[in-house]
């Protein structure tokens, strides 16, 4: 099904240890910035403002609510929100920071989360950079990862973070279109094995992906349950 996609990504203000098995134990994180991108012009950047017009340490509840209202308005105008792991992360964070759980739940269920769709098919997740490079796309900027963003932000390197989140939404949108054009997603595993998943009907919304049968994960020692991504919807 042909959709008009608007890519969306959130960056958090406070980090958590990379070794953590439960990142949710360290919340609340705050939102340092976010980006939206439809492919027209430049990505729109979202961040908090200080009284003197500077960039705030994090978005206020009102500013986060403005972002929710914008996303809802774009959906009403015919756009489909697009993320990579937005169901399990970005919308969960946005719901907490904006206080608009019901609206974020609705947006999350009806948007396309490519990583969640893949997880429902395969039983495991995949990084955006790995997926993008597997499809011949540039991927994330060199020298920075999502885990480093809160540290860069706290040290005042905010323009670099804004460039990073802008590139993330460009990559997200380019990846979605490439997969829909070719009908498959290809990437190299950590062992260097070429892996392909065919998606002849394109991407599913999170609500649709949740209806897929559970994949065989008997070969995994500790497979993730879908509730890892959907649990917050029951709050």
Residue among 1, 47, 18, 10 at smallest CA distance from 172: 10
pLDDT value of residue 100: 98
Residue 154: give its domain's CATH number: 3.30.420.10
pLDDT value of residue 192: 84
Q: pTM of the entire structure? A: 0.94
Domains identified in the chain, total number: 1
Distance of CA 92 to the CA centre of its chain: 10
> What's the CA gap between 10 and 166, in Å, rounded?
10
Distance (Å) of CA 11 to CA 94, 136, 191: 10, 25, 29
Q: Which domain holds residue 108?
A: 4-234
Tokens 């959907």 identify what position? 230
| Residue 41 CB neighbour total at 10 angstroms | 7
pLDDT value of residue 160: 94
How high is the mean pLDDT in each 10-residue block of the chain (235 residues)? 91 81 82 97 97 95 98 98 97 98 98 98 94 91 78 94 96 96 92 90 96 95 94 91
pLDDT value of residue 213: 96
Please provide the DSSP assignment of the chain as one string. ---EEEEEEEEESS---TT-S-GGGG----EEEEEEE-SSSSPEEEE-B-TTS-B-SS--HHHHHHHHHHHHHHHHTTEEEEESSIIIIIHHHHHHHHS-HHHHHHHHHTSEEHHHHHHHHHSS---HHHHHHHTT---SPTT--TTTHHHHHHTT-HHHHHHHHHHHHHHHHHHHHHHHHHSEEEEE-TTS-EEEEE-TT-PPPHHHHTTSPPP--TT-SSPPPTHHHHGGGG-
């Amino acid at each position: 099904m042909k959709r008009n996609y608007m890519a969306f990504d959130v960056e958090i203000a406070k980090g958590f240890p990379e070794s953590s098995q439960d990142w949710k134990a360290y919340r609340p994180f705050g939102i340092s910035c976010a980006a939206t991108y439809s492919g027209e012009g430049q990505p729109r950047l979202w961040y908090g403002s200080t009284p003197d017009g500077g960039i705030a340490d994090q978005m206020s509840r009102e500013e986060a609510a403005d972002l929710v209202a914008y996303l809802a308005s774009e959906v009403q105008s015919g756009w489909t929100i697009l993320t990579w792991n937005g169901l399990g992360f970005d919308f969960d964070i946005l719901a907490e920071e904006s206080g608009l759980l019901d609206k974020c739940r609705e947006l999350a269920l009806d948007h396309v989360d490519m990583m969640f769709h893949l997880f429902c098919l395969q039983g495991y997740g995949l990084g955006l950079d790995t997926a993008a490079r597997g499809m011949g796309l540039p991927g994330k900027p060199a020298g920075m990862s999502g885990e480093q963003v809160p540290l860069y932000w706290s040290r005042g390197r905010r323009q670099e973070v804004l460039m990073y989140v802008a590139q993330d939404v460009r990559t997200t949108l380019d990846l979605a279109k490439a997969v829909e054009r070719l009908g498959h997603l290809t990437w190299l595993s950590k062992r260097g094995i070429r892996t392909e998943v065919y998606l002849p009907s394109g991407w599913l919304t999170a609500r649709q992906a949740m209806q897929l049968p559970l994949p065989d994960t008997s070969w995994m020692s500790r497979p993730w349950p879908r509730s890892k991504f959907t649990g917050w919807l029951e709050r």
